[in-house]
Amino acid sequence: MECGKTEADKYEKVQNNLHNPILLPTFAPSINNKHSTFNYKLMKPTLLTASLIAMLMTTTACQNTRQPRDLDSVASPQGTEVFKADLDSIASHYEFPSWYTDAKFGIFIHWGVFSVPAFGSEWYPHHMYREGSSEFEHHRQTYGDQTKFGYKDFIPMFKAEQFDAEQWAALFEASGARYVIPVAEHHDGFAMYDSELNEWNAVKMGPKRDILGELKGAIEKHQLTFGLSTHRAENAWYYHEGTKFPSDVQDSTIALYGFRYEHEAYTDESSREWLERTYELIDKYQPRLIFFDWSVNNPVIKPYFTKFLAYYYNNAIDWGEGVVVNTKQGYPTNVMVWDVERGKSGRMMKLPWQTDTFVGTKSWGYIEDEVYKVPGQIVDDLVDIVSKNGNLLLNIGPRADGTIPQEQQDILLAIGDWLRVNGEAIYGSHCWKHFGEGETETPKGSFTDNQAIAYTSQDIRFTTQGNDFYAITLEWGDGDVLIKSLTPDVIGDAKILDVSMLGSTEEIRYKLTPEGLRLTFPQQKPCDFAYTFRIRFDKSVGDNLESEASDEVMGYPN
């Protein structure tokens, strides 16, 4: 028995060894179960090879030698069990780490096998099996029938031959980001790391490299914080559409395609598999942040997610590091950081929150016809988010060969240029009593940030550091700007020590009036967008005001 070899090790050999075809049972929906199951009555026989049968038997035997872990225990490997699998227990012990609340800006990376077709979006693996979709038709016209060329057949084409983790990390540092979150595994089920539980991974197939491990090393070398995202939960139903017509998804031996349940259906079996694989990521890579998509709020998964929280936070105690969990909804905001996908909170929040969005408007992964945002739009969003106690997690999508498109690099570098001038109003800053002022309406909620907002110089956002008050105007003005929030009553007996614009050496004239503090713009712009006035007081201002911060959590659209 070749227990040193796995299903993945033998995949390429089996593809080329088409001798002795035999009939195997195929995958089909069960009539008696709302979920899709393996049906061992031959419905539509699939031709496979004796070599594949032998491979599967060997793989099963080898897997049976692996010692199962105790998924019911939330104690760390060192035995730490401060956090229990109970949300009240978790809330009583958890604290948001300062590295995260001070960082304000991070980079997200959606990269994987879906970057090979580069069509539609990173959901290509799902849509290529959905009859009537543009991806379905594109796939047949470009690659052929789904029985002959399935999603798995893109894996040998995903070579990452130009991937350089050091170059990526240097770019992220230049962008001004303080943390980086690569996708460890997306819904497609292909692991970008060295997994002992998922043989469909980048070490054994495709690039044949531990992509996640290389990125962790480079990111931390550049003094950035490493985290990861895992979207494994959604894999349970992601390929279900491929069971409705002849396709390779009906081949039950291809573990890449998961449980093939109906849309957003989960079981204890799939939840335990998700939990075990998430524990593997924690144990192997010790990420400081783990990001999840929406499905972890499913009632079936929730008990397992609570165990995950306790296990992860117990491990963090051993590491001596604060950690963060991001997800969309379904959990108290005092045990994790609430995330808004492609949109923002309409209010300042009492607890930290986050926006995750893309430099483009169509996809999360690389596609050839992406329409990109302009840097000023993203900076305006960053300022608005930070003024409301949030962080911005900005996604990029590299090509399959491992290169980052120049348009994406230029956006990141432009943001970095802005942060080098204005960073003191962002990093480590705090909210004031109000997030800002102005008459321009800003969209709120998920999937609302594709269009740039036409702000004026009277649209201002506030942050503070100690006694320094930052008023960031979202557009340039040729004359004066009135900060209506800083009236004599609000300033009280505080004295203005100095007023300046970050990045400018010009003198800023100012006058306190009954209507507010009036400031003049300098003659020359110090940067390309979003301009920061720094007002230095001898004491904090606005202490007599009630904070507008809210503990509202906006729902995620169905």
Distance CA 492, CA 544 (A): 9
pLDDT tens readout for residues 398-438? 999 999 999 999 999 999 999 999 999 999 999 999 999 99
Residue 15 above 80 pLDDT? no
**So what's the pLDDT on residue 68?**
76
Q: Is the pLDDT of residue 125 over 80?
A: yes
pLDDT score for 99:
98
pTM of the model: 0.89
pLDDT of amino acid 207: 98
> What's the mean pLDDT in 389-398?
98
Residue 395, pLDDT score: 98
Q: Say whether pLDDT at 330 is over 80.
A: yes
Binned at pLDDT 50, 70 and 90, residue 552 comes out as confident
User: Confidence band (pLDDT; 50, 70, 90) for 20?
Assistant: very low
Instruction: Judge whether residue 98 has pLDDT over 60.
Output: yes
Please give the share of the chain, as a percent, with pLDDT higher than 90: 85
Residue 496: its H or E element: strand 496-501
Residue 467 carries which DSSP code? T
Backbone phi and psi for residue 191, each to the nearest 5 degrees, phi listed first: -80, 130
8-state DSSP, 550: B
516 vs 140, 168, 491, 511, CA distance in Å? 64, 46, 10, 9
| Neighbour tally for 68: CB within 10 Å | 7
- What are the tens digits of pLDDT across the range 32-71? 333 433 332 333 333 334 444 444 444 444 444 566 789 9
Beta partners for 38?
A: 27
Using an 8 Å Cβ cutoff, are 350 and 549 in contact?
Answer: yes
Q: What is the pLDDT of residues 176-211, one digit of tens each?
A: 999 999 999 999 999 999 999 999 999 999 999 999
> What is the pLDDT, as a whole number, of residue 415?
98
What integer is the mean pLDDT of 433-452? 93
pLDDT of residue 25: 36
Segment 303-322 shows an average pLDDT of: 98
More confident residue, 302 or 43: 302
